[in-house]
Each structure stands twice: as C-alpha cells, then as structure tokens.
Amino acid sequence: MLWKVMTMGLVLLHLGAGPARAQRNKITIGHIDSLSSKVLQERRGLWIYVPPAAAEPGYAPKHYPVLYLLDGDLNFAYVTALTQQLHLSGQGPEMIVVGIPHPYPTRTRDLTPTHSTRRWDGTEDRALNGSGGGEKFLEFLETELQPYIDANYPTVAYRLLVGHSLGGLAVLNTLATKPKLFNAYLAIEPSLWWDNTLVLRKLDAAGQQGRFTGQKLFLAVAHTERPDLDTAQVRRDTTGSTRHTRANLALVDRLRRQKPGSLAWQWKYYPRENHFSVAVPAEYDALHAFFRHQELALPTSPTDPRFTLAVVQRHYAQVSQQYGYAVLPPEETMNMYAWGYMQHKLWEKAYQFLQLNLTNYPQSYNAHASMAAYYEQRGDKAQALRYYAAALRIQDLPEARQKIAELQTTTPKR
C-alpha cells in the first residue's frame, strides 16, 4: 500500500498543481494570440492554454488534442481548469484549449448559419439583423484557424468543438455540415429553434445520408421552462415559450431513430440547472463521456506480479482505441516506475520500462540519461558512457557532461 501511495504521489507531483502558473507575482492560465483572417476580413483574437509540461527540459516534446471553445472569453477559465483536473485524476488527456472570443456584434454573425430576426418565441428582434455569417465562420475554422493552430502549437490530430446557446447551434451546424472537421462535439443548450429549426433538419438529413463516421456528440439540456413543467409536458406544449427546449428534445428523438453506430452520442437533462448554470456541469460530464476508460491499476508494491510491462502496454492500447488517437505511456510516469525498480534492484523490470521510453521517445534526453544511469548502477561503464553521450547529443545539459567526465576518469583507456 505504501508503494502505491508513493507512486501516486510522485505522479501527481510531476503533473503539477493545475493550469495556473505563477510568473512575476501573477497567476496565468494562458496567453493571447491573434490571427488575421482573409475569410472574415478582420483580425481575430485567440485565448490559448497550452499545458505547462509541453516543453519540459530533458523530456521529449509533448503533443495534445485541441479543444476549440466558442465564446472563449466567457468560458476559458473554467474549461482549462476542468481539462487539467480531469487529467490529474486520470480521467482524460491534457489538452490545448483555443478560446475564440465573439465580441459584439460578431457573436450573432459568427454563430448563426442563416439570416433571421426572429427569437425562439417568434417575436422580432432587431439585434439579430447582423445574423447569418455562420458559414463564413465555419470556413474560417477549417481553412485558417485549424491550420494555424496545428502549425504553431504541439497538437495531435484530435479536435473537440464546444459551444453554448448560439455557440451550441454553431457546434451542431458544423456537425451537420462538415462532421469530419472535429472528432467530438459538445452542444450545451443549443439554440436549435433558430430559423424554424433549420439545423435540426440538416442534422436529420446528414444522419440519413450516413455522413457521420465515428464522431462523438454530447448534448446538454437544462430546465429553462416553468418549474411545474416536466419534459413530457414540454413536448406536448405548442407555445413559443417552450420552443427552445422542444427543439432540443426533438433532436434527442431523432438521434434515437438513427442507424446504430453512425454517431456515438449521449445526452443529459439537467433539471436543477438553468440555461446559464448548466455550462460547467455539462462540460465536466461531456469530457468524462468522450474520454472514459478503465484506469490503470497502480502497483501495490515493487514486487506486485500483476503490474507488468505487458499490462501497461495493453492499457494504453485500449486508451488509444477509446480516445481515437495514439496515446503512448507517459515518459515521466514510466521513468518513475523504472527508477523505483532500480532502487529495489529489480533490474529486469527497470530495464523493460527504460527501454519502453527509448522506443517511444527516441529523441528524449531523459530516456537516454536514465538508461545510462541504469548501466552505471549495474557497473557497465562503457554502456553508461554510450547512453550519456547520446543524451548529450540530444540536449547539452551539464549533468550529462559531469557524468561523462566522472566515468572517463575511472574508466581505463584501451
């Protein structure tokens, strides 16, 4: 039990405390970037969070899935915190978060697929006069923003799109129009009532045409009606006041009728949340749903026979299948196991985990330096020198130079 506790403690210590970092008496969780868009004919601001371990000295560079967050300026803080907390608890991967702000009046323009001036209750609203730029915004996402993020940040080919209200409408319009742009879609309280439920009909057509090929969808619906109405009563209602929720429930009904396997979807009704408060629990539940997997059982002691290299490799193969992209055993975690085994002189197990890192991370200073330390402890100075030299070629760090100098002074020349 002590070994298990110590192992988990080391893992958490290495992972860090969370997305916020102290820099010069400031707590930061990201930075501001921008992109000049030819499609939109304007410069767009971006709020970017990159996990702090992305370029940790001594380790191989890391790459991450990307969560594209509509209304990024409103939702950036809690979404970055949730992604990091889920990672720390072993429930999901670390992610890059790309927050896309929609300052007035661009929000209505960006997030609506067609021009309409009618609200959910059928009344006219002149504030909607600028609506209808959603297809241009989708073109911006596909042809400018995604290539820019992939070129400038350490990404893997797995993307999520998250939106709330009109943002949720944009999420579902993207799924209906160009489903392969993203791997997972989270629509929180989407405004499916827009333009006489246009996007609902587009989704229905896309499903019938078999255009969904393994994408994931999580739909979050809050209780936005009178407290005395339940969902069954809302479905039967015909007034404009329930139009918003009825459209979302209609989507659930249509998804239930689609061919099994074409779209991996879930939905959840939040009877105690309103249109605004539902965002945080919905984000948490959706990330759990997208990345749910069996946890790797930690060893209870250094000699635990159930914890083997084969078990670790099988676990991460299953995680890769669940996530939809290749997930390698984390270099730092495998390294800590190896050092633990070396401390207990379990040389064969230590070597297996060190060799795993060398195979998966051939350009890692740490992987070579740790193998050098293994051979140094085994008394094989020639092999130790070889691996320290390899580490030094990858990254010129003083520790490796010092080790080489020490070994050379005690190794007779031939």
Answer yes or no: is 296 within a domain.
no
Answer yes or no: is 21 within a domain.
yes
- Which of the four pLDDT bands, split at 50, 70 and 90, describes residue 12? very low
* Mean predicted confidence (pLDDT) in 147-155: 98
pLDDT tens-digit map of 362-410: 999 999 999 999 999 999 999 999 999 999 999 999 999 999 999 999 7
* 3, pLDDT greater than 80: no
* Mean predicted confidence (pLDDT) in 257-284: 92
The Cα–Cα gap between 296 and 329 comes to 11
pLDDT tens-digit map of 97-106: 999 999 888 9
- Same structural domain, 109 and 67: yes
The Cα–Cα gap between 75 and 66 comes to 15
Final residue before a domain boundary, out of 291, 317, 343: 291
- Same structural domain, 82 and 199: yes
Three-state DSSP state, 140:
helix
- Which of the four pLDDT bands, split at 50, 70 and 90, describes residue 20? low
Answer yes or no: is 38 within a domain.
yes
* Mean predicted confidence (pLDDT) in 273-285: 97
Strands 264-270 and 64-70 come out as unpaired
Answer yes or no: is 388 within a domain.
yes
Residues in the chain: 414
Kindly provide the b/e burial profile for residues 381-396, where b requires at least 16 CB atoms within 10 angstroms of the residue's own CB. beebbebbebbbebbe
- Same structural domain, 147 and 265: yes
* 308, pLDDT greater than 60: yes
- pLDDT value at residue 260: 67
- Same structural domain, 20 and 143: yes
- Same structural domain, 52 and 174: yes
Q: How many CB atoms lie within 10 A of CB 227?
A: 7
- Same structural domain, 86 and 214: yes
- Same structural domain, 224 and 343: no
- Same structural domain, 111 and 8: yes
The Cα–Cα gap between 300 and 156 comes to 33
Going along 234-376, which residue ranges are E strands?
264-270
Answer yes or no: is 402 within a domain.
yes
pLDDT tens-digit map of 202-243: 999 999 888 998 899 999 999 988 888 888 988 898 888 899
* 339, pLDDT greater than 70: yes
* Mean predicted confidence (pLDDT) in 121-143: 95
Answer yes or no: is 297 within a domain.
no
* 162, pLDDT greater than 60: yes
- pLDDT value at residue 234: 87
Answer yes or no: is 121 within a domain.
yes
* Mean predicted confidence (pLDDT) in 325-354: 96
**In the block, residue with structure tokens 């070396």:** 342
Final residue before a domain boundary, out of 257, 291, 325: 291
* 22, pLDDT greater than 90: no
- pLDDT value at residue 226: 84
Quick one: tokens of 102? 């929609």
Answer yes or no: is 266 within a domain.
yes
pTM for the model stands at 0.91
- Same structural domain, 242 and 322: no
Q: What share of the chain is helix, strand, coil (3-state, %, to 5)?
A: 50, 15, 35
The Cα–Cα gap between 20 and 343 comes to 33
- Same structural domain, 96 and 212: yes
- pLDDT value at residue 295: 86
- pLDDT value at residue 57: 87
Residue numbers of the domain that contains 368 = 309-410
CATH number, domain of 44, equals 3.40.50.1820
Quick one: tokens of 258? 């689609």
- Same structural domain, 253 and 349: no
- Same structural domain, 249 and 106: yes
Question: Domain count of the chain?
Answer: 2
CATH number, domain of 406, equals 1.25.40.10
Quick one: tokens of 209? 């045409």
- Chain mean pLDDT for the chain: 91
